[in-house]
Structure formats: structure tokens, C-alpha cells
Amino acid sequence: MIKVDNLHKSYGKLDVLKGINTSIKEGEVVAVIGPSGSGKSTFLRCLNLLEQPTSGRIWIKETDITDKKANIMKVRENVGMVFQHFHLFPHKTVLDNLTYAPMKVKGLSKQEAQKQGRELLKKVGLADKEKQYPNKLSGGQKQRVAIARALAMNPDVMLFDEPTSALDPEMVKEVLAVMKDLVHTGMTMVIVTHEMGFAREVADRILFLDGGNLVEDAPPSEFFSSPKSQRAQEFLEKVL
């Protein structure tokens, strides 16, 4: 489903990703963890070309998205992303946030887009909020709308960039619960997270990044109980 081959990303002289190789199967849930500044967000943002890789190749399904001829908009349609700070359209209602892209990009009729939007709102527990504006919602509710909005494009892959880091503790659970439901649907998910309990519980694999290198790639049972590298051992000692 996703193949990453020798991915490098530099900002000027700063090498942020130093040759990442990995592949992710359809339906796999992968948690990307590691110290601050290790390149986790940059890695994730390369997967839908929010960051242009400096070199290396990334395939999503059969498409080499790093090929100059690849259609960036099509890639982004197919790879949904949820950000730390929601990025909802502030002047649109919750339902209009969900219908905008499917109508504009996918050509759904308003009726079709609203039907789909209402089903998604029900799934994330916000059926009663469709007419609200984002500024009337809690952080957890905003993030659930953001997840529903990304799902409204019916993507093959969902990327999550620290989706709970900006939330008050009591709201973290409700967002993680929605993500867990999504795991059970068989969605392919790549999640940058500091929630170690969640990563341990739901991920099929942990990618541990350090200094722009993929240092460990292992199932959570292995990674959390017997990390191989000293860097991962030190990291886990600090965060667990």
C-alpha cells in the first residue's frame, strides 16, 4: 500500500530525514514515535507531499507520488490528514466542513455529500452538531469533525499528526476512541503520537525515529518490552 524508498528531506543544510526505508501494508496501523525533532512530522508530511522529499521515492498503491508527473491534488484526495490543530474552516458549519471537498473535488451533489456527511457525523458521535460553527465546539469535538472531514473524501490512507497533543486531557479519550473505531474498519493508518499507551494497544507496528533515521521497526509487543537500540531504551525510560 505504501512503500518508502531511501527518503531524504533537508531544509538547507539541515538533514531531517536521512534515508528512510519502510513499507506499510493495506489495513496496517503504524505508530511513528521518537524524540522531539527526530523528523516524525516531516516523514508524515512527505507521505502526502505536504513536504516535497529532497530525494527518494514513495509509492501509494501503484502511484509513485514522488514522480514529477504525479498529480499532487489526486494524492492528497486519497491520503487524508488530521493535524494537531484541526484546521477546520471557521466560517462553515460542521456539516459544510464535511461536504465542501466532496462536492468541489469529487463532484458529489449537495444531497449526496450531506447524506454522507451526516453518516460520518453519527460515526464520530456528533450528529447533533451539524449546524454549529467550529468555534462553538470543544477541542475534542473539533478534532472528531476533522477526522470525519478527512474520511469524507473516502481516502485509502489516513495520516494523523499528533492528533491529541493540543487537547485537554479529558478530551484525549474521545478522540482516541474514534481512532480506535477506525482501526477496526481496516483503514490503513499512520499515526505520529506521544500517546504510548494508545500506540501499544492499537498499532500493528512501531516506527521509532531518532535523528532522522528509522532506528527500529517492530511490533509494539517487541518494541516496548525489549527495544534493541540504546536510543529507544533511553527514550522509553523517559516517557513510560
Ligand X SMILES: Nc1ncnc2c1ncn2[C@@H]1O[C@H](COP(=O)(O)OP(=O)(O)OP(=O)(O)O)[C@@H](O)[C@H]1O
Q: Is 27 in the site for ligand X (CB under 6 A)?
A: no
Nearer to ligand X, 27 or 37 (CB): 37
Q: According to CB under 6 A, which one of 40, 144, 205, 231 is a site residue for ligand X?
A: 40
Closer CB to ligand X, 103 or 196, in the complex: 196
> Per rule CB under 6 A, is residue 239 in the interface with ligand X?
no
Check binding of 37 to ligand X (CB under 6 A): yes
135 counts as binding ligand X under rule CB under 6 A? no
Q: Which stretch binds ligand X (CB under 6 A): 10-18, 72-80, 88-96, 124-132?
A: 10-18
39 is an interface residue for ligand X by CB under 6 A: yes
Q: How far is CA 207 from CA 127, 200, 219, in A?
A: 35, 12, 9
Question: Does 144 sit near ligand X (CB under 6 A)?
Answer: no
Tell me the DSSP string of the chain.
-EEEEEEEEEETTEEEEEEEEEEE-TT-EEEEE-STTSSHHHHHHHTTTSS--SEEEEEETTEETTSTTS-HHHHHHHEEEE-TT----TTS-HHHHHHHHHHHTT---HHHHHHHHHHHHHHTT-GGGTT--GGGS-HHHHHHHHHHHHHTT--SEEEEESTTTTS-HHHHHHHHHHHHHHHHTT-EEEEE-S-HHHHHHH-SEEEEEETTEEEEEE-HHHHHHS-SSHHHHHHHHHH-
Stretch that binds ligand X, among 39-47, 101-109, 132-140, 174-182 (CB under 6 A): 39-47
CB nearer to ligand X: pick between 14 and 240:
14
Q: By C-beta, is 40 or 144 nearer to ligand X?
A: 40
Is the CB of 82 or the CB of 95 nearer to ligand X?
A: 82
Contact residue for ligand X among 2, 4, 16, 24 (CB under 6 A):
16
Window of 34-42, 110-118, 126-134, 141-149 that interacts with ligand X by CB under 6 A = 34-42
User: Crossing angle for the helix pair 139-151 and 169-184, nearest 10 degrees?
Assistant: 20
**97 in contact with ligand X (CB under 6 A):** no
Q: Which of 29, 30, 38, 176 touches ligand X (CB under 6 A)?
A: 38
Closer of 34 and 220 to ligand X (Cβ): 34
Angle at 195 between CA 135 and CA 35, to 5 degrees: 105
Residues in contact with ligand X by the rule CB under 6 A: 11, 14, 16, 34, 36-42
